[in-house]
């Protein structure tokens, strides 16, 4: 079950096994094994995951807390992104839709010898269905893989996300019947800056298996502004 309170992907919630409003706290989301759930229990910002970079999605339904830790009560969703290859590739595209929706994105990848890399960037904007429902977002990121030896592979991934968006707020049943697109909070706004970098290694031991290690750093700054219109006037 998928719900989106702001209709722009920023506050989308994926519910496994019927947790309802508590779903963001009980479903663990991973990107290449990296936990992306927010520490303030506000859920996952799905707009930061580039769709054109996804290779496959693995879903584990049911309790996985023993193996994965916090948030894995309802299940685990692991999103695996594409690994750069030595073949050069470039893609670009644009999307236009209702309510002034515009999105442009581009990506490039390639490699030489043991080194391969991919980079992407996108800009997304919409006025939204309701008043004060606008959304603007910028994303850049990439992945570098270096096959140091036949038994050792090193990698580095990272991304930076920046957005600002309106908070239209709730409506009563009577207000909804009059104009479902209006907002009683026309000045409420929020913005986010979020970036991370991850270093990893993969050591192969043949029939004995392999050892994967990761070291990551993330910095997130989220601000909300709820001014009082009466005070401003």
The per-residue pLDDT for range 23-66, each reduced to its tens digit, is 778 888 899 888 888 776 667 888 888 888 899 999 988 887 77
Q: Which two tokens stand for residue 23?
A: 């779903």
Q: Are residues 108 and 203 in the same domain?
A: yes
Q: Which of 161, 158, 118, 157 is nearest to 138 (CA)?
A: 161
69-78, 123-132, 159-168, 208-217: the lowest-pLDDT one: 69-78
Q: What is the DSSP letter of 153?
A: E
231 shares a domain with 155: yes
For residues 27 and 75, give the distance between their C-alpha atoms in angstroms, rounded to a whole number. 5
Claim to verify: residue 42 and residue 91 sit in the same structural domain: no
Sign of torsion, CA 24 27 31 37? positive
- Taking 80 as the threshold, does the pLDDT of residue 206 lie above it? yes
Give me 28's structure tokens: 């663990």
Same domain, 126 and 98: yes
* Rounded alpha-carbon distances, angstroms, from residue 162 to 18, 62, 79, 194, 222: 31, 33, 21, 6, 10
Predicted local distance difference test score (pLDDT) of residue 230: 62
What is the residue whose two structure tokens read 């519910």?
Answer: 15
Q: Please give the tally of structural domains in the chain.
A: 2
Same domain, 177 and 74: no
> Which domain covers residue 76, as residue numbers?
1-81
Is 158 in the same domain as 109?
yes
Q: What is the pLDDT of residues 95-144, one digit of tens each?
A: 999 999 999 999 999 999 999 999 999 999 999 999 999 999 999 999 99
- CATH assignment at residue 36: 2.170.130.10
Tokens (6 digits) for 201:
């290694």
Q: Kindly state whether residues 27 and 133 are assigned to the same domain.
A: no
Contact 62, 71 (CB under 8 A): no
Are 100 and 180 within one domain? yes
Q: What is the pLDDT of residue 232?
A: 55
Residue where a domain terminates, one of 37, 61, 81: 81
Point out the domain boundary residue: 81, 101, 127.
81
Tally of residues, the chain: 233
List, in order, residues 6 or more apart from 184 with CB less than 8 Å away.
169, 170, 171, 175
Structural Rg of the chain based on CA atoms: 20
Could you identify the residue written with the tokens 């909070």? 185
What is the DSSP annotation of 88-108?
Answer: -EEEEEEEEETTTEEEEEEEE
pLDDT, mean over the chain: 88
For residues 111 and 85, what is the distance between their CA atoms, to the nearest angstrom?
A: 6
175 in the same domain as 106? yes
φ, ψ dihedrals at 22, nearest 5°: -90, 5
Domain termination site, one of 41, 65, 81: 81
Pair (119, 201) in one structural domain: yes
pLDDT of residue 41: 64
The answer to whether residues 30 and 137 belong to one domain is: no
d(CA 40, CA 79): 21
């Amino acid at each position: 079950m998928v719900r989106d309170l702001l209709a722009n992907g920023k506050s989308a919630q994926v519910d496994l096994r019927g947790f309802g409003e508590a779903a963001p706290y009980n479903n663990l989301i991973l990107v290449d094994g990296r936990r992306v759930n927010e520490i303030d229990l506000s859920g996952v910002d799905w707009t930061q995951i580039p769709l054109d970079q996804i290779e496959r999605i693995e879903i584990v339904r049911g309790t996985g807390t023993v193996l994965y830790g916090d948030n894995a009560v309802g299940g685990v969703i692991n999103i695996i992104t594409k690994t750069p290859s030595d073949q050069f590739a470039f893609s670009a595209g644009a999307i236009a839709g209702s309510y002034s929706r515009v999105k442009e994105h581009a990506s490039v990848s390639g490699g030489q010898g043991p080194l391969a890399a991919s980079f992407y960037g996108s800009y997304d904007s919409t006025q939204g269905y309701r008043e004060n429902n606008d959304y603007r977002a910028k994303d850049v990121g990439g992945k570098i893989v270096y096959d140091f030896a036949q038994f050792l592979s090193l990698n580095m991934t990272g991304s930076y996300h920046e957005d600002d968006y309106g908070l239209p707020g709730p409506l009563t049943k009577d207000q909804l019947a009059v104009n479902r697109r209006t907002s009683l909070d026309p000045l409420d706004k929020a913005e986010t800056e979020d970036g991370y970098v991850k270093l990893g290694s993969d050591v192969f031991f043949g029939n004995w298996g392999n050892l994967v290690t990761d070291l990551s750093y993330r910095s997130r700054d989220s601000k909300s502004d709820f001014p009082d219109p009466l005070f401003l006037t």
